[in-house]
Structure 1
Amino acid sequence: MKKQGMVIPHEHGGWAMVSIPFVIGMLSGKPNWMHVFLFVAWLFLYLSSYPFLQSLKKRADRARMIKWGAIYGAIAVLSLIPPLLTLPQLALFAPILLVLLMVNIWNVKRKKERAVFNDLCAILIFSLGGAAAYLLGGGGWDRMMVLIILYNVLYFMGSVFFVKSVFRERKNKRWTVYAKSYHIILLVVPWIVGNPWMAVAYLFSLLRTFLYAGRVIRPMKVGIIEIIGSIQFLILAMLWL
């Protein structure tokens, strides 16, 4: 990427998290044309947050980061107007998103962006996109909305544990235990909340973790595994959610 080129997030996990919860939420309700505007707004809010957060870390390139963050943010705001006019209730998500984003900013400024709690807050932000899509599709502030948030948070937190266990914490045996234990719990939660078939959507994650946690694995292979896992989660979630 050229020095003055566009600023684009390079983490594959971010692209999955910005899209999969949204699609699940949209299809759990009734898809309509306003979802196109809402998704564009949601996508550009994500694109905007990336350079703004990066600007807190990269002083030498701060001006370019802020410029692209502002451009993406303007597109997001304009795209958000039609959905907000259609359903003003969407604005109720704003305070929650701001609080979670403030946690991310606080951790970035203290160089603790890899903390598990920071990851959880980021995943909650993405999962709320699914809740908003569900509400726009005729859903309510109901059990289904809670499940959309819950199941997405559970899945993507599993990715956090897995990725840490094969990269930054690969030599830490405790993290291997944490990752495997978490994925066993994943199979139990759907039974507890009365939706046992959803446990099937987490079987791939469990198998992936028990096969590779604590082992040396190439980043590209991890990326491919995560893409496959995200697609199968989306398909199975729509079958049983």
Structure 2
Amino acid sequence: MTGHAERTAKAAPRPGKGRRGGTSGWIPDQHGAWVMVIVPLIVGVLLARPAPVHVPLAVAWFVGYFAFFAGGLWLKARGPRKRRYVAPLVTYGVICAVAALVVVMMRPTILVFGAVFGPLVAVAVWEAWRRRPRSLLSGESTVLASCAMIPVTAWAAGDPMTVRLWVATAVIALYFCGTIPYVKTLIRKRGDRGWFTGSVVYHSVAAAAVTGLAVVGLVTWVAVPVFLVVALRAWWMPRRAERRGTPWRPRTVGFGEMAVTALVLVAALVPPGVFQPVTV
């Protein structure tokens, strides 16, 4: 983690850490990404039905994320440091390929989603190669690829692509895509008026879109106050940090997003017609 105190020469490195304090590539240190890796797979299973194919699919997905993380480090490294990341990249890459092959053998038509994942992964790899792994383009492409796992999970089980499935995917994608600019306004782009304005506008549009979905009966009305809270926090959190003159701690931001993510999942998974407003 950047800003971390250097270890003394005699101190033993922690698991997943290199001898000079950097990550070895075996264990991803981007803790916020774990939610985006885990949630779509779980949501897909909940909206579809558990099936044997989900086991190799989960292995391919999680190990694929590990391989992507190690690959990003390999692309950024220069000179001899590249060798540090070869072992995790090759190991995870082989495991991912084998698991993916099993999925394809069990459900060959799943290859149609290559048209979705291919361009998104290509964009993320390109940004990593250009040494811009934290760019908005890279972040949004990986988020969209993550959300695409919801329909992939249902397709793998042989379930139909229902309207509810696609709407839930859209609701979760609206939220996750917004976390990229929101977190930047609190940390890396703190105090940047352009990023702040863009984040607030995006979240306002997302709240309006979810309200429209509720009006036509595609999502429960619970989703409306949830996304209003999401939009409010996109405005209030950066403003509060600016007024008090101290930034939010990453841990505080992380715990807050865990709570908001739980609310968004309720909004996406509760069937339409539940908790509808009472008309007089």
TM-score (norm 1): 0.89
Offset at residue 239 of structure 1 (A)? 1.2
- Check whether the contact 2:210–2:227 (CA below 8 A) recurs between aligned residues: no
**Secondary structure at the residue paired with 1:56?**
helix
Mapping 1:194-213, distance limit 5 Å = 194=216, 195-197=218-220, 198-213=223-238
Q: Displacement, 1:206? A: 2.4
Larger Rg: 2
Is the 8 Å Cα contact of residues 143 and 173 (structure 2) preserved in structure 1? yes
Unaligned runs of 5+ in 1: none
The residue number in structure 2 matching 1:103 is: 123
1:238 aligns with 2:257: no
Aligned residues: 241
- Misfit runs of 4+, over 4 Å: none
Alignment match, 1:163: 183
Q: Does 1:24 align with 2:43?
A: yes
Q: Structure 1 residue 76 and structure 2 residue 96: aligned?
A: yes
Please give the alpha-carbon distance, in whole angstroms, between the structure 2 residues aligned to 1:108 and 1:82: 28
Tell me by how many angstroms 1:133 deviates. 0.5
Instruction: Determine if contact 2:172/2:268 at 8 Å carries over to the other structure.
Output: no
**Aligned counterpart in structure 2 of residue 66 of structure 1, from 83, 86, 98:** 86
148-157 or 19-28, larger mean C-alpha shift: 148-157
Post-superposition Cα deviations, 1:21-76, rounded to whole Å, max 9, x if no partner, equal 11112211112232122112111111111111111111243122121011112222
**Same amino acid, percent of matched pairs:** 23
Distance 1:205 1:58 in 2: 37
Q: Give the C-alpha shift of residue 104 in structure 1.
A: 1.2
1:84 touches 1:91 (CA, 8 Å); kept in 2? yes
Superposed CA deviations along residues 112-164 of structure 1, whole A, max 9, x for unmatched, are 33332222111111111112102123333554453344223211111112101
**1:154 equivalent in alignment to 2:158:** no
Q: 1:56 corresponds to which residue?
A: 75
**CA–CA separation in structure 2 for the residues paired with 1:179 and 1:28:** 30
Higher relative contact order (CA 8 A, sep 6+): 1
The alignment yields a C-alpha RMSD, in angstroms, of 2.2
* Pairing partner for 2:114 from 94, 97, 102: 94
Gaps of 5+ in 2: 1-13, 242-246, 273-280
**SS state of the match for residue 139, structure 2?**
helix
Q: Which amino acid aligns with 1:212?
A: M
More divergent stretch after superposition (226-235 vs 198-207): 198-207
Flag the structure with higher helix content.
Answer: 1
TM superposition score normalised by structure 2: 0.77
